[in-house]
Amino acid sequence: MTAERPAPPVAPRRPAKLVAHGDERVDEWYWLRDKDDPEVISHLGAENDHTREALAHTAAAQELIFEEMRGRILETDMSVPATKGRWSYYSRTVERLQYPISCRRRVADGPDGEEQVLLDQNELAEGHDYFAVVNHSVSPDASLLAYATDCDGSERYTLHVRDLATGHDLADEVPGTYYGLAWAADNRTVFYTKVDEATRPHQLWRHVVGTPAADDVLVFQEDDDHFFLGVHETLSERYILLGLESKVTSEVHYLSTDDPNGKFQVVQPREQGVEYEVDHHAGAGGERFFIVTNAGGAENFKLVEAPVATPGSDHWTEVVPHRPDVRLDGIEVFVGHMVLYEKTGGLRRIAIRRVSDGDTYVIDQPEPVYTVYPETNLEFDTRTFRYGYSSLVTPRSVYDYDLEGRSSRLLKRQPVLGGYEPEEYETQRLWAIAPDGVKVPMSVVHRRGLVLDGSAPTLLYGYGSYESSVDPSFSAFRLSLLERGFVFAIAHVRGGGEMGRHWYDDGKILHKKNTFSDFIACSQHLVAEGYTAPERLAIRGGSAGGLLMGAVTNIAPELFKAVVAVVPFVDVLTTILDESLPLTVMEWEEWGNPKADPEIYRYIKSYSPYDNVEALPYPAMLVLGGLNDPRVSYWEPAKWVQRLRERSTSANTVLLKTEMGGGHMGPSGRYDAWREEALITTFVLDALGLPLPGSSS
């Protein structure tokens, strides 16, 4: 950065904490964990002030970038309506309003019929710095709306029920709920989940509309700390499914929606290492469950079916066998067809299978590098399937697919204002070679006709954990970089799910370092092939992707000029040793249990970013955290920044910005989120020494 920078705040010194487990680790910033300590809050505030001052020379550019991004968005817009029964449901946004408005119209009245507003989040968000809604679900008879709100980013939600005839909330109010909600067929009974002290959803409760929350009934409690509990209805609306999942094991229970006071029955008792998910089908052949599972060594999963009356594995019949080159990601079941979501060759695809005879085919897509995903499908008895499509150059698009006629119809492509022309950009798939010889895919986009002379500024994104795939999709915000000559790339590193289950297994526990070496190989490939150079290369990742950012900058700081780490999971060893923290016990199946296995302890210690900060020339860094984050505690980025500043041998800026009223997801309002993107974009431009908007250079 070229501007004269203010000195960072001097954090108060406290006695160091000895963190021991078979050896000794001294943590000089352990005291920052105490959220109730006024000095901690004061320190975070001082860091926010410092970041604002350090970037003051970019303030005008941030505003220009924000307006540039905003100028590409159709601010008053509407989603494609989805039909269920007599109603057509949609959401819309209004210029200058932060949050969406949920609405519906009667199908019989057509698209110009009278609109009924179900929920205006802008009204509910008034007076709150943070606001989020989950579990937005209309009762089967369409008379009631259940929804849950969070006003601080802690992801602990208060459940509400709204009478849609009057538009007013009923007296029903249940605090402390979590993700997941299901209606029974009586239109009065709602099932919801609650979390324990470690923010693990472990209980299923039953609430009857019109009764006090104190009268709610605990239906099920999962006491094994490795398992998360979730609940949802099948699309057929015949069953409520209670899912219990660890990282490697599943168990599903089911209950007829006609019998809300009944007892849940297990599909197949849990067996360590066996995963499965369930959907329901009812048709001419009777009732059955379709089950996606890895049982019997099906590494990439297979599809089986079983009678509802006897759904255990002894009665499973194979429908789609295991395929070593195709990962079966999930299914969506309709009366006459089922949709198979599959991964092969690093891309996601959609296959359609006719239920009656098994005839199966893949929906063709127009680009070689793209992603597809389910859109809102509300009706079981339908011949139309709705899906979304996007690529790094094609804005998000909504299609209706005729399951009988085998044809797609484009309903909407997200508008991009300001004259965006997709033809001016090109996207492709590159392959880097990891140190162990494995080919690692990258999705890349840039202006058409890029000269490969190493001069292009580049932003490389990565994640690589939990079998989560970072699929190549469009972002209007990214255009602010692409229009300035940037290359944008996604490194599909091991630990993610892009290349099948083995890709995930080869990037977890004692193979975690493959994630880091893959990312470095992708960075080196971009340099070697002439896309960029280290002095023009910025990298970005969030959460577990923030761990990736911390690890690779410890390994090869000279390879990167700038780093953006969003809610970074960087104090891995301390967190995974602490069972009182959210997610820790369940995470042992992702990272390993360092308390039980000395080899795991040593391995995590050898890569944990906070534990491996050394006297190295670190690049410029922007680190973002959330004070109420239940997934990555705010103190992880706060401690990491302090240690980086003390040990770095470079003069590069390391900045910390903590969202004091939010959590893991960052700012909740769309304009606030856009401003954060403008901040990040401006930081990257400035850190790479590029001209800022509005500057004379």
Catalytic residues: 543, 629, 664
End-to-end Cα spacing for the chain: 14
CA distance 81 to 491: 35
**Alpha carbon separation from 34 to 630, 632, 633 (Å, rounded):** 14, 15, 11
CA distance 196 to 586: 13
What's the CA angle centered on 565, arms 442 and 534, to 5 degrees?
A: 55
CA distance 274 to 205: 26
> Smallest Cα–Cα separation from 407: which of 426, 387, 424, 427?
387
CA distance 668 to 670: 6
CA distance 343 to 301: 11
What tokens were used for 109?
Answer: 């009245």
CA distance 458 to 560: 10
- The SS3 of residue 394 is coil
- The SS3 of residue 240 is strand
Q: Count H helices and E strands in the chain, helices first.
A: 12, 38
- The SS3 of residue 636 is helix
CA distance 391 to 393: 5
| 621 close to 563: Cβ distance less than 8 angstroms | yes
> Smallest Cα–Cα separation from 290: which of 302, 275, 299, 298?
302
* Residues forming a β-bridge with 562: 538, 620
Residue 602: CB partners within 8 Å, gap ≥ 6? Answer: none
DSSP designation for 425: E
Strands 562-566 and 537-542: parallel
| 619 close to 1: Cβ distance less than 8 angstroms | no
CA distance 338 to 353: 5
What tokens were used for 571?
Answer: 């104090």
Longest dimension (CA), the chain: 74
User: Beta-carbon neighbour count of residue 670 at 10 Å?
Assistant: 16
| 240 close to 233: Cβ distance less than 8 angstroms | yes
What tokens were used for 247?
Answer: 């990282």
CA distance 7 to 653: 10
Q: How far is CA 508 from the centre of its chain?
A: 18
